[in-house]
Amino acid sequence: MATMNVSLPDPMKDWVEDQVECGLYSNASDYVRDLIRQDQDSQNKRELLVRALKKGEKSGMSKRTLDDIWNDIKTQKR
């Protein structure tokens, strides 16, 4: 595993240490790794959304009403 040194302002360093002291993480590295995983997941979800929006934009105007669309979504979740 590679090592990376990061400089933080004191309030951020204190925050990270508080997260570790609360028992949420075993050390500062675990906390940072978790933040990076969350950011990666967020980026992936954002990319999927952008692709879906572009696909929808290219598909043209729909003849369905907003109510029709919402009803379809509600039906799919059941």
Predicted local distance difference test score (pLDDT) of residue 77: 75
Given a cut of 90, whether residue 78 has pLDDT beyond it is no
Given a cut of 90, whether residue 62 has pLDDT beyond it is no
DSSP string, 6-52: ----HHHHHHHHHHHHTTS-SSHHHHHHHHHHHHHHHHHHHHHHHHH
Please report, rounded to a whole number, the percentage of residues in the chain having pLDDT higher than 90: 90
**Domain assignments of the chain as residue spans, ordered by start:** 18-77
**Average pLDDT along the chain:** 95
Model confidence band, residue 43 (pLDDT cutoffs 50, 70, 90):
very high
